[in-house]
Structure 1
Amino acid sequence: MFLRYSFSLFNIWHLTIFALFFVYSTVETQSKFIKRDSFLDRTNVPKNILAASPLGGGSHLVPMLEILKILVVRGYNVTLAASGNFTANSESYRSIPQIIIGNETGTSLMNEEFAKKVFLEDVDFNIMSKVFDPELYTKFYNIYKRITEEINVDLFFCDVGMNEACFDLAWQLEKPVVGFASNPIYASIPPSYKSDPVFGCHVNMENETFYERFKCSIIKPLQFMNVFMTIGNLLNEQRVNVGVEPIWDPRSRMKNILFLFDTFFGFEIPIPMLPLHQEIGPVLADTYPDLTPDLESFLNAHPRTMYFALGTNVFTSPQNIAILLKSCLELINQNIIDGVIWATVKTNITELMSFSNVDFPISDILNNNYPHIHIIKFAPQFAILSHENTKLFLSQGGASSSHESIYTATPMLVLPIMGDQFGNAEKLELAGIALKLSRLNLTFDDTILKIKRLLSEESFKNNAKRLSFMAKLNSKRKYRAADLIEIVMNSAKYDSIEDENGNLKTNNNVLLKDWITADTRMGFIRGNYIDVYGTFIILVLTLIGGFGYALLKVVKYLYTYYKARNSNSKSNTE
């Protein structure tokens, strides 16, 4: 009994000592650490941002607005200048005020006749460049200038598409500017191995023949030089009209500024990136419209559904639509798929109804009387792609559609219509998540074959899952984009100069000097060490030439010497 009692006291004593030691150690440990202070002092940081996108449309505006939403939460004052009444009609972005600079979005910059030519015929860059209207430069410049005076803009956030006026005004008013694009090729000179189908070349020239590489690096640029010079001259005429100094380097107002690209490696062809060029994509919204009861019911009843949508701004010919619908019916009959959701958007249903050269009940389909094809004007695309029964996405290959398809791991059949869609189709195909169709040579058999491959070959599903993982991680980078814009604003606070009216003036050539690589300041020859390597090559050639000359003299001397010696020997012998 006594021993048991003593043992208990012994244990209590040791437990007490251990507890005291633990408390002491904790206090001692805590005293060696402090909590990191993450507070950002935004006092007196410029706050007024003007975002400008003449093209408008979801693909251009949604990624920009997602970044702007973050900045609004952080206390910045944001105004959007874009075509179409976009934010007022949006649940997600209604809080961002918009100044409408055009009646429609996307195709508003070209008339219906020209749109049909671009969408339905074989066009190249020369034809595409005709969509450029130089007078729009003056229109947008004056609108942006008026807005700037009204809201006292501190920073311009410019979508690169047909938006030279935005960049010019920022430089003219000496305000910081940040560029935005879906593809690095629009804002920087790409390496030789990267091109674009718009120029008649492939996005990746790695495995092309010598002839193709020579054509795309030498011949094509020379062919398009006249187009670039013509556009540049027209722009300079408009610049003079509004008091802006003409420029001859089309990228001069895009140098030395921060550019955000809504893309990511895995989808994008990898290239070396400058510190000023930052990939922040895929930029996606946090919430999307949900399925309607009809769509949810249809999807639940059709476990192998294909979703068909060509975006909000483009369309294809009635003949192509008929081929696609006929292919869908055949695949349903073969039990390859069991349902199709078709978002018609820009499709001319009236024209399609009168299209008589078909051997299937097109009227029943268009009137939603066919049980396995559900037609809707506008569809909640992300919700449809997120549904487990959506197995394939037939798309035009726009940037937003591509990102959403990758995010939801949905393989794609791409029918590119215009612009960057051709390049996106090639990138998706190279990534192993898609196959592409030809809008000018669309056939029933080719469509059937490619849909069967996409649904049966495991590689497409596996690549889709692999890219989905990357997209989900990279989709967080829109916060990084907002951070980068804040860094530019904060730099302007310290590195700008106040004029007589108290307005900050910024030199965009040096504002982000910490991010500008030295070769930019050194010039082409010094920056690429051409002078050093050139001198080295000259020295080596001089040494080789001198050694060769000396060797030649020695050989010549020895030859003469031995020849004379042999002659003397013969004379003595005789």
Structure 2
Amino acid sequence: MAGGPVTLVIDLPYDQYFGYGAIHPKVVKTVYVVIFVRLARRVLRLAYAISEPSTSDQSAASDFNFNGKLAKIILHYSFHSFQTMKTTWCWLSLAFALVSAQEPLIQQPKPVIYYSGILGGVSHNGWPLEILETLRLRGYNVSFISTEPNHKYLEPFPNIPFLRLRDEATNASFRSMFDPDDEASKKGADTFAQYLRDVLPDQKREYVEIFTRDKPALVVCDHINFACMDVASWLNIPMAQTTTIMMSEDPPFQFVDREYLDSDDTPTSLFYPFIAFYRYWMGKVKYCAVSYGVGKAIDTVPPEYNIPRHRGLAFNSGTLQIVNNFMPMSDIITLKPNDYYIGPIQPSNIQPLTEDLASYLDARSSVLYVAFGQMYVPTQREFNNIAAALLENYRAGIIDGILWASRGLPKDMLESFQANTTYDTTGFSNNPDIRFEKWVPQYSVLNHTATKLFLSHAGAASSHDAIFNGVPMLLYPFASDQPTNSVLLERAGVALVINRKATTIDRISRKIKDMLIDRREEFTANMKQMQTIALISSKRKELAADILETQALASRNGKPWYLHMEHSPGTLLGFNVFSIIGILVSYKLCCVGTKALLRKVWYALYLHFIPLSLPKIINTEIK
């Protein structure tokens, strides 16, 4: 009677893990020696069993599958012998010895990575925590640094620790920092500046204390968390900033129309480059004028520290810019080596519909969902126009339900609309088809087949929710990145935009009818394409974690040397200085009457070596 085969497979990839609890080479060699001795003894026993067969045929099998912290060991042994139990326990002891050998000789904790965001809503603080959770699952020591009101964003991530900052000693509210009627509002800018002067000294002290105590390998800061970025830069800690719209210290392509809403100009018009140039730079001058106080306030530091301002958008700043967006929702801008599009990130913890809301949506087939985010509320006039337009489409049978997420909406606003004799509000109050809810699980509402149109402020998180669920949007932008998001979504063919400065009931009503009746198939097909791109792009959360992990482990003096962040040539108003000199000299040589040959040679050299940055103002025909 022949003995059974012996199969032994060992996989110990210890060489890949030195530095983080690896097995010492001597331990591994010892384990291999033990295995070899045991195997040799068993071969001899099998040879003896073959020469002198046992009178009783007994068989047993033992399967061990042990996944150690740093190794995978698979032992499979089958045999026919007279010492079944004894041999089995021998191999069992060996297997447990191998597993215990995988524990590190010296425990070395993974590097510390912090994310800190204070201002803003879920568009600021929701998706970075998704990436932080991914890093936590990779073994990193992660934490969320913020004030107590933002603790709620950790509900889907109970395993991420919260480092609480002291409450902000200021009377300025985030909502008052924006003027929906004027993006370059001096009042809003002054409020923001006052907020910064009130809170930055204490916040910078706290960040200095936390960062010097814990020595993080990487700090990830929200793009308006200036204290976090300034202190991390001052301490030479590798850093990344998070945002939902790509930002740059350099201007975008100079002749893209920045007047997004209701622009009747066409790029082929004769004076279009000059018009666009004027609009862009006049807008920039106005913005700089009203935000001068904000810039001074950012420089506010505790008297005991000399912390300079960190210019994270500069070309050679070394700060990674992680953007939760994708190209269809991105403005035309020059990307730097440290700019990364990693979104849109799909939420991993989606709250389901309540039983009541599920019943409401199940009973209807064409619901219009309204939500303007946590920070923005329409004026009474705007609310009246919107409500009247919705009611008009409801009566026409275009929609059979209106669901309005009314958080932040004053109670008297609805009462004032119902009491207004200018509008026919019949059927608006006490109507089961029209619901105002303080809070709704937005993603799940948009995921329901009854939701056919989303009236939104065009915030990044809301726009992503609609795209992921394939729901076309009617956009009502207020401020911040919302006007930009609106025009890009409209250009993509998945939305229409309402100009808040020229809002009427008829305009809103016609756009609703246009999207749900006249051009419904067009918007649905375009949104399907947008949804496909977003779902593919949403897989980049792991890439975002890879990028941050690389920054944490491979930076030098806080800078990503591997990105070759050489300083860009000097610029004047965003144009290469040499280009401007070349234009002036070319104009002199080509237009004043210098020798024709010199004109031709110089102009040809200029066009070859220096790309034209400014519009072609040289009206010279070279024959």
Q: TM-score, normalised by structure 2?
A: 0.69
1:305–1:337 contact (8 Å) kept in structure 2:
yes
Contact 1:280–1:474 under 8 Å retained in 2: yes
Distance 1:234 1:488, change over 3 A: same
Asked if residue 424 in structure 1 is aligned to residue 472 in structure 2, the reply is: no
For residue 96 of structure 1, the aligned residue among 141, 160, 165 is 160
Distance 1:304 1:38 in 2: 60
Q: Which residue of 1 aligns with 2:529?
A: 466
Residue type of the alignment partner of 1:132: F
| Consecutive unaligned residues in structure 1, runs of 5 or more | 1-33, 496-505, 551-574
- Structure 1 equivalent of residue 345 of structure 2: 283
Matched, 1:513 2:561: yes
Q: What is the CA distance between 1:428 and its match in structure 2?
A: 1.2
2:547 counterpart letter in structure 1: L
Percent identity reads 26
Residue matched to 1:110: 173
1:328 paired to 2:371: no
- Between Structure 1 and Structure 2, the one with more helix by share is 1
Match of 1:225 in 2: 288
1:398 to 442, 453, 459: 459
Distance 1:51 1:549 in 2: 60
Of the three residues 480, 486, 497, the one matched with 2:549 is 486
Q: Deviations over 1:467-487 (max 9, x none)?
A: 000000001111111110000
Compute the displacement of 1:158 (Å).
0.8
Deviations 1:507-549 (A, max 9, x none): x3xx31221344x266559x969499959x88x969x957769
Instruction: Provide the rounded CA distance (Å) in 2 between the counterparts of 1:85 and 1:365.
Output: 35
Structure 1 CA distance for aligned equivalents of residues 399 and 455 of structure 2? 13
Q: Which letter does structure 2 place at the counterpart of 1:294?
A: D
What is the correspondence of 1:347-426 to structure 2 with a 5 Å cutoff?
347-355=409-417, 356-358=419-421, 365=428, 369-426=430-487
Please give the residue correspondences for 1:489-504 in structure 2 after superposition, counting only pairs within 5 Å.
489-492=552-555, 495=556
CA distance in 2, matches of 1:225, 1:139: 27
1:54 aligns with 2:121: no
Residue type of the alignment partner of 1:93? F
Q: State the Cα deviation string for residues 310-350 of structure 1 (Å, max 9, x = none).
A: 11222112332232222222111111011111111111124
Give the CA deviation at 1:142. 1.8
Give deviations 1:221-252, integer Å, cap 9, x for gaps. 3333334544333333x137352354596845
CA 1:147–1:549: 2 relative to 1, 3 Å: closer
| Residue 151, structure 1, aligned to residue 234, structure 2 | no
Matched residue SS, 1:153: coil
CA distance in 2, matches of 1:275, 1:154: 21
The Cα offsets for residues 44-81 of structure 1, whole Å up to 9 and x where unpaired, read as 68621221112142111111111111011111122212
The offset of 1:187, in angstroms, is 6.0
Once the two structures are TM-superposed, the CA of residue 282 in structure 1 deviates from its matched residue by 0.4
What is the SS of the residue equivalent to 2:397?
A: coil
CA distance in 2, matches of 1:298, 1:273: 46
Compared CA separation, residues 358 and 55, structure 1 to 2 (3 A): farther
Give the match for residue 160 of structure 1.
223
SS in 2 for 1:278: strand
Distance change in 2, residues 1:316/1:149 (3 Å) = same
Q: Distance in 2 between matches of 1:325 and 1:531?
A: 54
Alignment check: 8 A CA contact 1:201 1:216 kept: no
Asked if structure 2 preserves the Cα contact closer than 8 Å seen for 1:194 and 1:269, the reply is no
Q: Give the total of aligned pairs.
A: 486
2-side partners of 1:229 and 1:205: how far apart? 33
Q: Secondary structure at the match of 1:54?
A: coil
Task: From the superposition, tell whether residues 246 and 173 of structure 1 become closer, same or farther in structure 2 (CA, over 3 Å).
Answer: closer
1:312 maps to 374
Matched residue, 1:185: 247
| 1:153 shift after superposition | 2.5
Specify which of 140, 150, 156 is matched with residue 76 of structure 1: 140
Change (3 A) 1:358 1:41: farther
Aligned Cα root-mean-square deviation (Å): 3.8
- Partners in 1 of 2:407 and 2:311 — Cα distance? 39
Alpha-carbon shift at residue 363 of structure 1 (Å): 10
The whole-number CA distance in structure 2 between the counterparts of 1:345 and 1:166 is 30
The one-letter code sitting in structure 2 at the alignment partner of 1:372 is D
Distance 1:387 1:339 in 2: 13
Which deviates more, 320-329 or 305-314? 320-329
Pairwise CA distance, 1:284: 2.0
Q: Which has the higher contact order (CA 8 A, sep 6+)?
A: 1
Determine if the alignment matches structure 1 residue 130 to structure 2 residue 190: yes
> Which of residues 234, 238, 241 in structure 1 aligns to 2:297?
234
Q: Give the direction of change, closer, same or farther, for the CA distance of 1:122–1:387 in structure 2 (3 Å limit).
A: same
Are 1:55 and 1:82, in contact at CA under 8 Å, matched by a contact in 2? no
Shift in Å at residue 156 of structure 1? 1.1
Deviations 1:11-51 (A, max 9, x none): xxxxxxxxxxxxxxxxxxxxxxx9x9996767268621221
Alpha-carbon separation, structure 2, partners of 1:42 and 1:289: 40
SS of 2:179's equivalent in the other structure is helix
CA–CA separation in structure 1 for the residues paired with 2:578 and 2:437:
60
Quick check: 2:219–2:238 contact (8 Å CA) kept in 1?
A: yes
Q: Deviations over 1:279-328 (max 9, x none)?
A: 01102212310111111111111101111111122211233223222222
Residues 229 and 77 of structure 1, relative CA distance in 2, 3 Å threshold: same
Q: Which residue in the other structure is 2:495 paired with?
A: 434
2:408 aligns with 346
Tell me which amino acid in the other structure corresponds to 2:254. Answer: S
CA–CA separation in structure 2 for the residues paired with 1:123 and 1:225: 12
One-letter amino acid of the counterpart of residue 453, structure 1: D
- Distance change >3 Å, CA 532–CA 318, structure 1 → 2: closer
Contact 2:318 2:565 (C-alpha < 8 Å) held by counterparts: no
The amino acid across from 2:467 in the alignment is I
The amino acid of 2:192's aligned partner reads F
**Deviation per CA, 1:172-214, whole angstroms, max 9, x where unpaired?**
111111111111126664332457569x998x99578234312
Correspondence for 1:450 among 511, 514, 518: 511
Contact 1:341 1:375 in 2 (8 A): yes
SS of the aligned residue for 2:331 comes to: coil
Q: With the length of structure 1 as denominator, give the TM-score of the two structures.
A: 0.75
**C-alpha distance in structure 2 between counterparts of 1:38 and 1:127, whole Å:** 61
Q: SS of 2:562's equivalent? A: coil
